[in-house]
Structure 1
Amino acid sequence: MFLNIKIIDLSTVLAGPSVGSFFAELGAEVIKIEHPEHPDVTRLWKMPNEDKDSSVSAYFSSINYKKVYRQLNLRMENHREQLFEELKSADIILMNFKLGDQEKLQITDEKLHEINPQIIIGKINGFGAKSDRVAYDLILQAETGIMSMNGTPKSGPVKMPIAFIDVLAAHHLKEGLLIELFAKKGNEHYQGKSLSVSLYDAAVSSLVNQASNYLMNNHVPQRIGSLHPNIAPYGELFETTDHKTITFAIGSNRHFKQLCSFLDIENLAKDERFKNVQQRVKNRTLLFELLNEKIKQFSADEILTYMHQNFVPCGEVKDLEAVFETKAAKDLVRTEVIDGKETKRVSGIAFQIKDL
Structure 2
Amino acid sequence: MSGALEGIRIIDASRVLAGPFCTMILGDLGAEVIKVEHHLAGDETRGWGPPFAKGESAYYLCANRNKQSMTLNLKTEEGRNIFKQLVESGDVVVQNFKTGTMDKMGLGYEVLKEINPKVIVASITGFGSDGPYKNLPGYDYIIQAMSGLMSITGEAEGSPMKVGIAIADVLTGLYTCIGILSALQHRHQTGEGQEIDISLMDCQIASLINVASNYLVGGMQPKRLGNQHPNIAPYQVFPVSDGEMVIAVGNDEQFKRFAAVIGQPELAMDEKYKSNQLRVENKDTLVPSCEWALKQRTKIEWKALLDEASIPNGPINSIPEMFADPQVNAREMVVKMEHPLIDDLQLTGSPIKLSKSPVTMRTHPPLYGEHTDKILENYGFTTDEIVKLRTKQII
Q: TM-score, normalised by structure 2?
A: 0.84
Question: Counterpart of 1:318?
Answer: 317
What's the secondary structure of 2:36's corresponding residue?
strand
- Counterpart of 1:269, as a letter, is A
Deviation at 1:44, TM superposition (A): 1.1
Deviation at 1:183, TM superposition (A): 2.3
Cα distance in 2 for partners of 1:353, 1:60 equals 26
State the Cα deviation string for residues 174-228 of structure 1 (Å, max 9, x = none). Answer: 111111212223x5x6122111111111111111111121112211111110111
Question: Does the CA contact (< 8 Å) of 1:58 and 1:343 recur in 2?
Answer: no
Question: Does the CA contact (< 8 Å) of 1:62 and 1:344 recur in 2?
Answer: no
Q: Does 1:159 align with 2:159?
A: no
Question: Counterpart of 2:269?
Answer: 270
What's the secondary structure of 1:102's corresponding residue?
helix
Question: Counterpart of 2:141?
Answer: 138
Aligned structure 1 segments of 4 or more residues deviating by more than 6 angstroms? none
Aligned residue runs from structure 1 range 142-291, under 5 A: 142-185=145-188, 190-235=191-236, 237-241=237-241, 243-291=242-290
- Counterpart of 2:102, as a letter, is Q
Aligned residue runs from structure 1 range 92-103, under 5 A: 92-103=92-103
Deviation at 1:124, TM superposition (A): 0.7
Structure 2 CA distance for partners of 1:149 and 1:309, relative to 1, 3 Å: same
What's the secondary structure of 1:31's corresponding residue?
strand
Deviation at 1:352, TM superposition (A): 2.0
Deviation at 1:230, TM superposition (A): 1.2
Cα distance in 2 for partners of 1:156, 1:343 equals 38
Q: Does 1:44 align with 2:43?
A: no
Deviation at 1:81, TM superposition (A): 2.0
Deviation at 1:336, TM superposition (A): 3.5
Cα distance in 2 for partners of 1:177, 1:193 equals 10
Question: Does the CA contact (< 8 Å) of 1:65 and 1:336 recur in 2?
Answer: no
Q: Does 1:350 align with 2:351?
A: yes
Aligned residue runs from structure 1 range 9-20, under 5 A: 9-20=12-23
Structure 2 CA distance for partners of 1:138 and 1:338, relative to 1, 3 Å: farther
Cα distance in 1 for partners of 2:66, 2:345 equals 11
What's the secondary structure of 1:288's corresponding residue?
helix
If asked which structure has higher relative contact order (CA below 8 Å, sep 6+), I would say 2
Question: Counterpart of 2:91?
Answer: 91
Question: Does the CA contact (< 8 Å) of 1:61 and 1:344 recur in 2?
Answer: no
Question: Does the CA contact (< 8 Å) of 2:258 and 2:309 recur in 1?
Answer: no
Structure 2 CA distance for partners of 1:31 and 1:339, relative to 1, 3 Å: farther
Deviation at 1:140, TM superposition (A): 0.7
- Counterpart of 2:225, as a letter, is I
- Counterpart of 1:221, as a letter, is P
Question: Does the CA contact (< 8 Å) of 2:261 and 2:309 recur in 1?
Answer: no
Deviation at 1:266, TM superposition (A): 0.9
Question: Counterpart of 1:294?
Answer: 293
- Counterpart of 2:160, as a letter, is P
Question: Counterpart of 1:307?
Answer: 306
Cα distance in 2 for partners of 1:80, 1:128 equals 24
- Counterpart of 1:50, as a letter, is F
State the Cα deviation string for residues 268-309 of structure 1 (Å, max 9, x = none). Answer: 111122222122112212222111111111121221112222
Deviation at 1:355, TM superposition (A): 4.9
What's the secondary structure of 2:286's corresponding residue?
helix
Deviation at 1:337, TM superposition (A): 4.8
Cα distance in 1 for partners of 2:122, 2:103 equals 16
Question: Counterpart of 1:70?
Answer: 70
What's the secondary structure of 1:273's corresponding residue?
helix
Structure 2 CA distance for partners of 1:337 and 1:33, relative to 1, 3 Å: farther
- Counterpart of 1:112, as a letter, is L
Question: Does the CA contact (< 8 Å) of 2:186 and 2:192 recur in 1?
Answer: no
Structure 2 CA distance for partners of 1:200 and 1:219, relative to 1, 3 Å: same
Question: Does the CA contact (< 8 Å) of 1:120 and 1:195 recur in 2?
Answer: yes
Cα distance in 2 for partners of 1:289, 1:65 equals 48
- Counterpart of 2:191, as a letter, is Y
Deviation at 1:164, TM superposition (A): 0.9
Question: Counterpart of 1:81?
Answer: 81
1:30 equivalent among 33, 36, 47: 33
What's the secondary structure of 2:14's corresponding residue?
coil
- Counterpart of 1:141, as a letter, is Q
Question: Counterpart of 2:334?
Answer: 333
State the Cα deviation string for residues 206-255 of structure 1 (Å, max 9, x = none). Answer: 111111211122111111101111111111x22322x1311211111111
Cα distance in 1 for partners of 2:144, 2:110 equals 33
Deviation at 1:132, TM superposition (A): 0.8
Deviation at 1:30, TM superposition (A): 0.4
Cα distance in 1 for partners of 2:111, 2:246 equals 55
Cα distance in 2 for partners of 1:124, 1:22 equals 16
Deviation at 1:338, TM superposition (A): 5.3
Question: Counterpart of 2:381?
Answer: none
